[in-house]
Structure 1
Amino acid sequence: MKTYPKNYGYSASNRTSKWQYLIIAVALIFMALSALPNFFPKKQRLLIHSNGAEKAAIQASELYTQLADANLPVNAINSTEQGSELYFANLSDAKKAYERLVQVYGDEYTIMKSEKSGIPQWLVELGLEPIKLGLDLRGGVLFILDVDGDKAFSDRIVHIRDSVKSITRDNKIRDVNVAIANKEQVVVNIYQPQNLQKVAAEIQNRFPLLSMFYESDTQLKLFYAAAAKNSFHQEIMSQSLSTMRGRIEELGITEAVVQRQGRDRIRIELPGASNPDDVRPIIGATASLQFFQLQERGGKYFKTESGESIAVSPVPIFSGKHIKNAKAGRDEMGMPLVHLTLDAIGGDKMLRFSARNIGKPMVTVFSEYYQNTSGETLKKEKVISVATIQAQLGSRFSITHLSSPEKAQELALLLRAGSLDAPITIAKERTINATLGEKNIENGMAALTLGIGVTLLFMIAWYRQLGVIANVALSFNLLCLLGLMSLLPGAVLTLPGIAGFVLTVGMAVDTNVLIFERIKEELKRGRAVSIAVEQGYKNAFATILDANITTLLTALILYAIGYGPVKGFAITLGLGVLTSMFTGVFISKVLTRLFYTNSNSRREKGVMA
């Protein structure tokens, strides 16, 4: 009988160290916890309570009878003195039950649809949440907004002209002519060269990106170069995106998607929103606020609500972009007002201005853009307040003399969410029914289940023991992908995202197929099982890495240039590449060593003994 070394076919390089087991175990437990909230679906709920104290709550038995008569199943009914809660298996049943109960009890009871999270409290306390569903899966409202950057640029040119006039007036410079040429240039004529240079220096300080060209000692042209104009456009788009995100947060919609689409458009997805009329006035509002110094003549003229014309300084003291917070309220006489809180820059401007102008009026001008019947974008401006500065003001003060509490609330909301420098119009609006989203989820999950099922059967039939290992690694792969998507705050699952899950299954299997085929080649060459396994993983790694890096680059490009469903697919694809590498190479290798290498090595020893 031949004897073989104790470590026949097995060396130190084949062993998996304890710290590797620990890292894999910790990663899988963490991913499993992150994915767990997705297995507790939201409960569809109806809330019913009486409109008056004299009406008693509806008995649960009566509600069961009403729904049973309409063949509508209900999971549970919880009744209290204040009202009843009805729970349903799906959104479709809840919607039909809502229509039925409104028809029967709508005159005397208030009936509301809502969702209740099914996640256990201990998961909530850990800060874990399920994957956010996109518009095509959950239903909701889609807005496509056009940002008129050209109009904003034209307004900037006008603002530069007014600033030049203000500087010359403050410095008491005479014989000045300031005009706009070709809608993109400000031409300044000052017949004293030293004064022209003085004005140029101050303008350059206020507008650093502005280019200057001296036509002569007495004429100066102010304009934006191509790069500076592009930078201005980028700034306008960034400000518009930031403002839209702020407005949506004010509406309490936490799962919205706000992103740039193309050069001049913004895409807003509001999953779960059912009525576009509730959000359209805030999304499409182009309101802004400016504060001016009143002057006797010259400057800008505005109309008050009474129709009177008043003149103000052409350059505002500060604008709505310096407002940090706004809150509606009432003064001592019960009149509506808005309390404002300014940022550091706005507070400093107000402090210096009010200190010099105590006892003088300050004018608050509300402006917004609108489109006329010809489709032209116009700006409407009106004076909403003329108040005397009673004392030195800082970063906190109030706008008074507002027409109604409702106007004060609306103005406060818009100011909190931020003003816009560029006109915005709603180019496209679409409402996606929630039941359609449910159908998409059902179809998508059916496709995913079918793809996984066929893949699992093929791997077991073709690779037997190695196929079982591949299937276990594949299950871990899907678990890790689900956990990662739940952790990322910007990740949203869309219908193409479900397709990304199916594609991830294919990539994970492809990884295992490459490895297993290499292992089979090594075994055909007469290598011991342990050596064949190590060589198979080693030789296949370079090919797997190249293929996955290429796919990851594709996902990054799709994420960078795509939007909506395309971006959702790119996120799933990119994360799927990472999880496939982790599970297909590392976890699969550990499992192969544990269950395939050891068992077959023992069998080899027995045969050769």
Structure 2
Amino acid sequence: MMNIPVKKPRAYFKWQNLVLVITLLLLLVSALPNFYGKQANIRLTPRSEASKPVTPQAIKALFSGQQLSGQDLSGEELSGQAQLLDRISVTQAYTDILVPDEAARIRAEKVLKDNFSGDYLVSTVITSDAPAWLQALGGEPVKLGLDLSGGVLFVLDVDIEQALTERLQQISLSLKSMAMEHKLRGVKVAVTGQSEISLTLADNSRQSLKPLLAEINRVYPELTPTSISTRQLKLNHADPELVKFRQQIMKQTIKTMRGRIEELGITEAVTQQQGKNRIRIELPGVHDPEQAKRIIGATASLEFYQLAENSRAMGVKRIKDENGRGLLLNSQAVFTGANIKNAQSGRDQMGAPLVNLTLDNAGGKKMSAFSKANIGKPMVTVFSEFYRNQNNEAVKKSKVINVATIRSHLGAQFSITNMPSLQEAQELALLLRAGSLTAPVTIVKQQTIEATLGADNIDKGIKALTLGIVLTLVFMLVWYRGLGLIANLALALNLMSLLGLMSLLPGAVLTLPGIAGLVLTVGMAVDTNVLIFERIKEELKRGRKVLSAIEAGYKHAFATILDANITTLITGLILYAIGYGAVKGFALILCLGILTSILTGVFVSKALTNMAIRENKDKLLGVTL
């Protein structure tokens, strides 16, 4: 049979090979950090300049009493039974304690916090064993999910209806002030439904209704008048506005939660919406669930009020200070925690804890105008949070944390003093930096996964992946002989490329279902080569020479491979978009695996074939084709 002339493999453009080499090198370098281990150092940092770093002798004595052992830099063994510490190093600023594994870190950290948390900050510093040049490139290993590294899972319920009620109450107070500004007497404002506000006017106020309605439409365009009579005006949220409000509440809550998690120093966390009003939070590597629960579950907000006796606005808020003294506050806050741009804890000149606040542009203007007009008068700082009562109802609890006299004209920066303790000042600053929550949240599910379980999951996943790879390599070598060697090399490059791609993507997290996706990726990558090699065998049976059959096989099989992978990629993208947790982890590996399989299974495999087979010969590396 006559062979149809085709372009020779050696005519494959060199720039294409150069692009492939550069891409593979980039992915391989980014995958290298995954092959180096990490060391966990527990760091003791003095909280004040007066304190000195803890000495190795003090730590030896502490862990000797705990029947735990280790060795310092000189190699001296600590007495005891269990090996907990590797070495202790001391600098002028801190003390570092190297531990051998995660279980030892948890035990040692607990002992140190119980004994040193008052005067020292106990933190964990992770260092990599990777060479300096690789660390200089910024290489990071793949982030492990909750099921592989251990940690805590929270599911939060967001009370959107309570947020809507709070919003309507704030609007009603604002409407009372508007009515007062328009000199309307006997105005009654009430929240009459889940999304409705009713205004009842006195008989002598009819003429001022239109100007008031015009201002309401300007300030609150989301409110729609549904019933207007000579004395009564009803305003409510239309259904599209309610949907928009609920979406905004969920977005704001998720953003706030992510901010709080970042303040905790957790970079591999997963925070995503689950259903209409729930949020799923995964905190890999967290082994102190109470601390995370205290920060994540807090629904704290901060408001600054003027005493009612110094204000002519309508509405009074009654509250008691820490001494039980009753205070009458203006019902409308001067500004709230939403205007706070930054918050840092610290101490004043007398050593008392405080929180230094920095306001945004709008908050700074409000504070400037208010303080200028109220020098010598008090301003009350109120801290509020929601909690669930015995009937599972959201109840707002407020307390006065500061009553300060305004001594001068203030701007965007000022301080909250008289904080009970430095820890409370630090937690308040953290919450204010991350943002206050508009809607109350309730932790409806909490699950802790131990690090040992995560290590067991990794071990089983790697065994499954290794078994799948070995069987696949053997099959390809036996069935396709010489071409199978190229397929196996392409498969190895595929796995390395996938690992490197996951390391490059900041949002990629490897989970246990993700390992299952890796196993599936191996099968998909081999399937790509199977389609090509079977096509090559068909072309050889038709009488083509080896070079011609290889070129035709890659060319004609590509369309089929592309169609199959695109349909699978669409499915993976849908799973990633609507799924969460395990489904999302699996979909991520599936989608990335499809991309790397096409890269290595088609383009890299073809380049390797063209390099290995340059003549119409029957053997490749001594193996029959």
TM-score with structure 2 setting the length: 0.86
Kindly indicate whether residue 371 of structure 2 is the aligned counterpart of residue 375 of structure 1: no
Are the aligned partners of 2:38 and 2:126 in contact in 1 as well (CA < 8 Å)? Answer: yes
- Cα gap change, 1:175 to 1:400, in 2 (>3 Å): same
1: CA distance, partners of 2:427 / 2:98: 35
Deviations 1:135-167 (A, max 9, x none): 111111111111111111111111111111122
What amino acid sits opposite 1:284 in the alignment? Answer: G
Deviation at 1:332, TM superposition (A): 4.5
1:255 to 265, 268, 286: 268
- Cα gap change, 1:167 to 1:307, in 2 (>3 Å): farther
1: CA distance, partners of 2:305 / 2:294: 27
- Cα gap change, 1:396 to 1:554, in 2 (>3 Å): same
Uncovered stretches (5+) of structure 1, i.e. residues with no partner: 605-609
Deviations 1:340-359 (A, max 9, x none): 10111211222233333333
1: CA distance, partners of 2:75 / 2:418: 55
- Cα gap change, 1:85 to 1:317, in 2 (>3 Å): closer
Kindly indicate whether residue 616 of structure 2 is the aligned counterpart of residue 600 of structure 1: yes
1:453 alignment counterpart? 470
Deviates more, 1:352-361 or 1:261-270: 352-361
1:135 to 146, 165, 173: 146
State the SS of the aligned residue for 1:378.
strand
Kindly indicate whether residue 257 of structure 2 is the aligned counterpart of residue 241 of structure 1: no
Deviation at 1:392, TM superposition (A): 2.6
Are the aligned partners of 1:49 and 1:84 in contact in 2 as well (CA < 8 Å)? Answer: no
1: CA distance, partners of 2:331 / 2:96: 60
Deviates more, 1:27-36 or 1:381-390: 381-390
Kindly indicate whether residue 77 of structure 2 is the aligned counterpart of residue 63 of structure 1: yes
1:281 alignment counterpart? 294
2:596 alignment counterpart? 579
Deviations 1:32-72 (A, max 9, x none): 110000000223668893338999996666528856xx6x6
1:398 to 395, 415, 425: 415
Deviation at 1:87, TM superposition (A): 5.8
Are the aligned partners of 1:58 and 1:84 in contact in 2 as well (CA < 8 Å)? Answer: no
1: CA distance, partners of 2:61 / 2:284: 38
Deviation at 1:254, TM superposition (A): 2.1
Are the aligned partners of 1:163 and 1:314 in contact in 2 as well (CA < 8 Å)? Answer: no
State the SS of the aligned residue for 1:370.
strand
Within 5 Å, give how 1:36-435 maps onto structure 2. Answer: 36-43=32-39, 49-51=56-58, 63=77, 88=100, 91=102, 94=104, 115-191=126-202, 192-296=205-309, 298-435=315-452
Kindly indicate whether residue 18 of structure 2 is the aligned counterpart of residue 22 of structure 1: yes
What amino acid sits opposite 1:511 in the alignment? Answer: T
1: CA distance, partners of 2:96 / 2:375: 59
State the SS of the aligned residue for 2:77.
helix
Are the aligned partners of 1:43 and 1:87 in contact in 2 as well (CA < 8 Å)? Answer: yes
What amino acid sits opposite 1:132 in the alignment? Answer: K
Are the aligned partners of 2:9 and 2:610 in contact in 1 as well (CA < 8 Å)? Answer: no
What amino acid sits opposite 1:295 in the alignment? Answer: A
Deviation at 1:328, TM superposition (A): 2.4
State the SS of the aligned residue for 1:339.
strand
1:607 alignment counterpart? none
Are the aligned partners of 1:14 and 1:534 in contact in 2 as well (CA < 8 Å)? Answer: no
Deviation at 1:85, TM superposition (A): 5.5
Deviation at 1:86, TM superposition (A): 5.6
Deviation at 1:15, TM superposition (A): 1.8
Deviation at 1:574, TM superposition (A): 0.7
1:559 alignment counterpart? 576
2: CA distance, partners of 1:480 / 1:261: 32
1: CA distance, partners of 2:416 / 2:152: 34
Are the aligned partners of 1:166 and 1:313 in contact in 2 as well (CA < 8 Å)? Answer: no
Are the aligned partners of 2:546 and 2:618 in contact in 1 as well (CA < 8 Å)? Answer: no
Deviation at 1:446, TM superposition (A): 0.4
What amino acid sits opposite 1:63 in the alignment? Answer: E
Are the aligned partners of 1:166 and 1:314 in contact in 2 as well (CA < 8 Å)? Answer: no
1: CA distance, partners of 2:4 / 2:234: 87
What amino acid sits opposite 2:171 in the alignment? Answer: I
- Cα gap change, 1:54 to 1:553, in 2 (>3 Å): closer
State the SS of the aligned residue for 2:385.
strand
1: CA distance, partners of 2:287 / 2:535: 54
Deviates more, 1:507-516 or 1:355-364: 355-364
State the SS of the aligned residue for 1:259.
strand
Kindly indicate whether residue 40 of structure 2 is the aligned counterpart of residue 33 of structure 1: no
Deviates more, 1:127-136 or 1:559-568: 559-568
Paired-residue identity, %: 54
State the SS of the aligned residue for 1:483.
helix
1: CA distance, partners of 2:84 / 2:230: 86
Are the aligned partners of 2:56 and 2:88 in contact in 1 as well (CA < 8 Å)? Answer: no
2: CA distance, partners of 1:316 / 1:97: 47
2:513 alignment counterpart? 496
1:520 alignment counterpart? 537
State the SS of the aligned residue for 1:51.
helix
Deviations 1:234-272 (A, max 9, x none): 111111111111111222222222222221111111111
State the SS of the aligned residue for 2:392.
coil
2: CA distance, partners of 1:336 / 1:443: 50
- Cα gap change, 1:547 to 1:142, in 2 (>3 Å): same
1: CA distance, partners of 2:367 / 2:560: 65
- Cα gap change, 1:526 to 1:44, in 2 (>3 Å): same
What amino acid sits opposite 2:145 in the alignment? Answer: G
Deviation at 1:536, TM superposition (A): 1.6
Deviation at 1:312, TM superposition (A): 2.5
2: CA distance, partners of 1:112 / 1:422: 32
Are the aligned partners of 1:365 and 1:382 in contact in 2 as well (CA < 8 Å)? Answer: yes
2: CA distance, partners of 1:85 / 1:412: 29
Are the aligned partners of 1:98 and 1:113 in contact in 2 as well (CA < 8 Å)? Answer: no
Question: What is the count of residue pairs matched by the alignment?
Answer: 586
1: CA distance, partners of 2:164 / 2:107: 53
Deviation at 1:299, TM superposition (A): 2.5
Deviation at 1:558, TM superposition (A): 1.2
Are the aligned partners of 2:6 and 2:551 in contact in 1 as well (CA < 8 Å)? Answer: no
Deviation at 1:323, TM superposition (A): 0.6
Name the Cα RMSD after superposition: 3.3
State the SS of the aligned residue for 2:616.
helix
- Cα gap change, 1:424 to 1:515, in 2 (>3 Å): same
